[in-house]
Each structure stands twice: as C-alpha cells, then as structure tokens.
Structure 1
Amino acid sequence: MDILISVIAKIAEYVGRQLGYLFFIRSNFQKLKTQVEKLKITKESVKHKIHAARRNAEDIKPAVEEWLKKVDDFVRESDEILANEGGHGKLCSTYLVQRHKLSRKASKMVDEVLEMKNEGESFDTSKKPYDEVVPSTISQTPDFKSIQGQLADKLGLKFEQETIEGRARILRKRLKMERSILVVLDDVWEYIDLETIGIPGVEDHTGCKILLTSTNKHLISNQMCTNKIFEIKVLGEDESWNLFKAMAGEIVEASDLNPIAIQIVRECAGLPIAITTVAKALRNKPSDVWIDALDQLKSVDVGMANIGQMDKKVYLSLKLSYDSLGYEEVKLLFLLCSMFPEDFSINMEELHVYAMSIWVSYMVLILW
C-alpha cells in the first residue's frame, strides 16, 4: 500500500509539473525575459573588465572568452523562444502541445541563465602574472630600513630585528615563500645591493622578479645588470593632445584658445609631467593667461647653465605652475613643503608648526 501511495505521489508530482507548464507559460516567459536582461548587464560588465585588462597589457583567460560566446548563443536562442509570445503577452499558437513545449523550454532556460549569470559575476577576467606585487620607492637618498619596511608592509611582515642585516635575512626568507612575486623598486638613482636589502636574486629564487625604474639607463643596464630594458619614450602628438585636453578641459577646443593650446602642447615636447602641470595651471584661466604661458614656455633663457633641452621644458612647466599659485602665502607654503626630503610623508600638524614659526619670524622682522 505504501509503495502504491508513493508511486501515485510521484505520478501526481510529474503530472502537476507538466500542467504547470501549460498554466504558467506567461510567468515562465516573464522570468526568462527578466533574467536574460540581467545576463546582458553582466555580459557588459565582463566586457568592460576585459577592456580594462587589455589596456593594462594583461592576458585574458580563455574561459572568459568562451563564456562570452556562450552568452551570445544563449541570448539568440532565448530571443527565438520569446518571439513566440505576442506583443500583448499572448501566444501566437494556441495548440496545447506547443504551449507546453515553449513553457517548459523557458522554465529550463531560466535555470541556465541564472547559472551563467553567477559564473560571469565570479570572473576574474585576467590571469595575474604574479601572486604578489610589492612596490617600494627608492629616491635619491635610499634608506634601506625604509625600503625594507615598505616591502614588509605589503607582505604583512613584522620585523623584530633592528639591524639592516637582521631584517634582510627575515625579508629574504619571506620573499622566498612566494611562488611568484614581483618586487618593484621605483626611482632608482644609484647602485643598490639588493642582497643587503633582503631581495633574493634570480639564481636564488627563480619565482622572484625585480622591476627597476630609473632615468639613468647606464645605471640600470651596466651597474644593476638587468636582463631586459624597457625604454619609455615621450608621448606622441595625439597622445600629448589627449592628455592635455583631459587635464585642461574641453575649453581647449574653443576657437580662440585652440591654436594657442596646440602650440603649448608642442612646447611640452611630449613630456607627461610638463603636459599635466601646464594643463592644470591653465584650467579655467582666461585667454590672456594662456598667451602669457605660451610666451613663458618659449623662453630661451631660464637663468640656469648646463641644462638640457628636456630638463628645460620640465623646469619651465613647473615654474609656470608655481607662478600660477597666485598668493605669496601659497607660494611660501609650497616652498616649505619642498624643503622636506623626496617622497617624505609630511605630517599636517608638523607642517602647521613650521608654517606658524616662519610667519612669526616674518612678523618679528617686519616689526624690527
């Protein structure tokens, strides 16, 4: 008897489900429509991530490309199914078999679309070339303890040792624990013994790669013995203009400013620091200021001997930015900040104390 009841229950469940396909066809179609629209949004999000990854020279996982193709095929199939529904939510065919088939297909596709949507949302579009990337800024006067501290912070490492040698030993051990790691040493001015810092060489840890940035090609290629050099060129004409326009605003397209803006960009000689500095200084300024700026950038004498053409362009752009600060108090504050070491993290309270001290001294001199 129990077996009979169980069999009848199973049959009833099956029949009920099949009848449900007939009665809830509009509901199934609507669910499919809704989920397909959400899938399309997820697809656009994934495409945006792919675009960003490619601009960053990252490789795209094959699974991501396959997912996009699968989504396109699915959307086409769902459109064909939904095309059987009239513009007012009524089916063109009234045959029960056809209604059952379409409704059942729509219901099954809802489950598929949910699975595809979840898969798309979980994608990390690119395969990262390294498990860890740890950067450190070196600057003109390298502080080995500071460099070790920067690397340790990125690795979640705490030093108990006080000496550079002791910290180097722990840092080297920690870096070797990573299967694949990129150490970035930015703004290198002089030869640095990486072993002293605690960075293992390639022969000591093949999974550790080191990226150095420097303006001194001889230092990088000969003294630091790098395997490969990537020389960064100045920006091209179109790149320079696009960067300047992004920093200065659409005003550069105005008929009265456009010819002046083009000449200013040329004077920046494709140097990003010159372009961004000048553009920000001229943003929202009247045309006469732009004309004066062009004259300054064309200046032949910068009052400094033995300065190269590229350094001259950078100097003139920075001077223009400094002159545009306006108030003398602002310029003095800028000069005060420049007295701190390169890449120094300036404490605001400390800066305020120094500024007040200078102001008091200035007032005493006036009263004297």
Structure 2
Amino acid sequence: MEKIQEVEELQVKGRFSNGLLIDALPTSGWSRPTMGSFGETTSERNMEKVWECLMDDEVRTIGVFRMGGVGKTTIMKHINSRLLNETCNFDDVIWVTVSEAFNISKLQSDIAKALNLDISDYKDETRIASELYAILSRKERYVLILDDLWEAFPMEKVGIPEPTRSNGCKLVLSTRFFEVCKKMACRPVKVELLTEEEALNLFMSKVEEGQTVLIPEVKEIARKVAKECTGLPLAIVTLAGSMRGVNDIHEWRNTLNQLISSTKQISDIENVVFELLKFCYSRLKDEKLQYCFLRCALYP
C-alpha cells in the first residue's frame, strides 16, 4: 500500500500542465551480418580510424576510400554493428547501399525504404527531397551510411540535411574514388591493404578450411600464390576458395605460374583484382557453372 501511494504521488508530480510530450521516432538501424575481419591488425586499424572520426565533434562527413576489393563494405558493416551495440553519441544508424547504377531518385527511394517511409504517392524529386529533409531533420543524432558511392551529389537535392554539431548527425560514405570524398567535403580515410603476413594467414585459413593441412612443399608454393594477391582481401578469399581441397603440388605450381604470367604486365593494382577474379572464373571447370556465374552476375 505504501508503494502504491508512492507511485500515485509520483504520477501526480509527473503531470505538467504546460508541457509537451513527443514520442521518440523509432530507430531504423539494422544489424548486418559481418564476417571475420580480414587480417586483424590492419582491419582493426582501418576501423579505428573511421571510429575516431565518428567520435570527433569537428568531423561531420567521413569518406572511406580505396579501390574495389579492399574490404570497405566489411569495414562499414563492422562500424554499423559497433554503432548499434555500443552506447555512444548516436541514437540511430541508417544504412543505404548505393552502387554503380546511381541516380537521385533511386537514392531517395533507398533512403525512404531505410526510414520505412512510403513515397509511392510522390513522383517529383523536389517533393520527395522535402519529405526526406523533414523526417531526417526531426530525427537528429543519427549516422547515415552510404556504402559503395560512385559519384558525388548535392545533399539538398536528395533531401539530406547537412550534418552539423547542433543536430549531432554524421554522414559516412564508402567509395572507390578519392575525388568523390573531395567533392562531398569528407574527411578522407584511406583503407590500408593487408600486410604480407596477414595476407598469407587469411589465404591459408580459407584454403585449409574444413580439410587436412597442406603438406610443407605445397604450403611454400601457396605462400607465393598469396603474395600475388597483393594484399587485396577479395582476391585472397576468392583465389583461396578456388584452391580449397587441392593438395597436388603440380596443380599449385601451374596456378602460381599462370598467376605470374597473367599479372606481370599489369601496373595498376586495381586491374590485378579483375585478373585474379578472371583466373578464378576460369577454374570453374564445368561450363554450366561458368554460365551460371555469368547469369547471376547480370543481376545486382
């Protein structure tokens, strides 16, 4: 009875005749599956650089950049999870995957979808921009992540309020191009490549996954194969997957020789990724598998 009396008194004190109560907007942050880090030291260092920018009040827009295949999306997913799991400066995380087929309408639609906002009745980009601006201006203290952005855009045209200290918001984007970071006035964060030791550890962990350990002679060749991947996580994981279950020293030697011959004329490291992916594609011995891969590749 004493507790009931105490609660009733608190309820009376909690009635503010001149006050205003506003329900908090629901959070739209979604947890995203993350795979193990690509080379703990480098991966942690890359993520820590982004995190320091997020925690720095002077930095409002952050651009994570480097060529395709270095693990930018993996970094962003880990940052997304950390923002959701840690009690920090932000109330909400909004994730949008942009990709190459970029236009203002599609970006507006993707942001609206992330906010659970129905814009099907609006056909005009300007009207949609106004709606998005109104919603985002009410939210405050959010992080908007735009993953895989290929070109810069005017934020006001999309309907994204400028991140400021007063609204507590931040914009984080990942892109292949430093030029995009410059045009979007970002604090640039360049993703580091894996060290030779990290590349080898990642390669061997994928090659030996679920099978017996390679014999020493094969392991020595595998070390050289891993080196040909030039510290690029995508190339390492893909190539290692294509060599999983192979313990024949002759096949490993052939693979190494073919890799050296296909990449020795390439000076641009970004093109090395495509050559390595092409090499893995050619290792799909079954023509039906190759056609299956090509058909899947036609669709995002």
The two structures have a TM-score, normalised by structure 1, of 0.54
Q: What is the distance in 2 between the residues matched to 1:181 and 1:125?
A: 14
**Consecutive aligned runs of 4 or more in structure 1 exceeding 6 Å deviation:** none
The residue aligned with 1:170 is 131
Q: What is the distance in 2 between the residues matched to 1:293 and 1:194?
A: 47
State the SS of the aligned residue for 1:156: coil
Q: What is the distance in 1 between the residues matched to 2:93 and 2:86?
A: 15
2:241 pairs with 1:280: yes
The residue aligned with 2:160 is 199
Change (3 A) 1:249 1:327: same
Q: What is the distance in 1 between the residues matched to 2:264 and 2:124?
A: 46
Change (3 A) 1:195 1:308: farther
Q: What is the distance in 2 between the residues matched to 1:187 and 1:131?
A: 23
State the SS of the aligned residue for 2:261: coil
Structure 1 residue 318: Cα displacement: 0.3
Q: What is the distance in 2 between the residues matched to 1:309 and 1:292?
A: 24
Percent of aligned positions with the same letter in both sequences? 28
Residue identity in the other structure for 2:94: V
Q: What is the distance in 1 between the residues matched to 2:150 and 2:264?
A: 25
Output one character per residue of 1:242-288: Cα deviation in whole Å (capped at 9) or x when no partner: 22123222556531321011101111010111101101111112423
The residue aligned with 1:291 is 253
Change (3 A) 1:302 1:270: closer
Residue identity in the other structure for 2:279: L
Output one character per residue of 1:127-156: Cα deviation in whole Å (capped at 9) or x when no partner: 144211112222223032332222222222
Residue 252 of structure 1 contacts residue 261 of structure 1 at CA under 8 Å; is this kept in 2? no
Q: Which has the higher helix share?
A: 1
2:284 pairs with 1:325: yes
Alignment coverage as a number of residue pairs = 218
**C-alpha RMSD over aligned residues:** 2.6
2:202 pairs with 1:239: no
Output one character per residue of 1:61-114: Cα deviation in whole Å (capped at 9) or x when no partner: xxxxxxxxxxxxxxxxxxxxxxxxxxxxxxxxxxxxxxxxxxxxxxxxxxxxxx
State the SS of the aligned residue for 1:150: helix
Structure 1 residue 125: Cα displacement: 7.0
Change (3 A) 1:260 1:300: same
The residue aligned with 1:254 is 215
Structure 1 residue 338: Cα displacement: 2.7
State the SS of the aligned residue for 1:325: coil
Gaps of 5+ in 1: 1-54, 60-123, 345-368
Q: What is the distance in 1 between the residues matched to 2:140 and 2:290?
A: 49
The residue aligned with 1:212 is 173
The residue aligned with 2:298 is 339
Structure 1 residue 334: Cα displacement: 1.7
Alignment of 1:1-368 (within 5 A): 126-159=86-119, 160-203=121-164, 206-221=167-182, 223-226=183-186, 228-249=187-208, 251=212, 253-287=214-248, 288-300=250-262, 308-340=267-299, 344=300
The two structures have a TM-score, normalised by structure 2, of 0.65
Q: What is the distance in 1 between the residues matched to 2:114 and 2:131?
A: 14
Gaps of 5+ in 2: 1-43, 53-83
Q: What is the distance in 2 between the residues matched to 1:176 and 1:314?
A: 41
Q: What is the distance in 1 between the residues matched to 2:270 and 2:180?
A: 19
Structure 1 residue 183: Cα displacement: 0.9
Q: What is the distance in 2 between the residues matched to 1:315 and 1:281?
A: 15
Residue 96 of structure 2 contacts residue 114 of structure 2 at CA under 8 Å; is this kept in 1? no
Structure 1 residue 235: Cα displacement: 0.5
- Greater RCO between the two (CA within 8 Å, min separation 6)? 2
Q: What is the distance in 2 between the residues matched to 1:264 and 1:301?
A: 12
Structure 1 residue 301: Cα displacement: 6.3
Deviates more, 1:232-241 or 1:148-157: 148-157
Greater radius of gyration (CA): 1
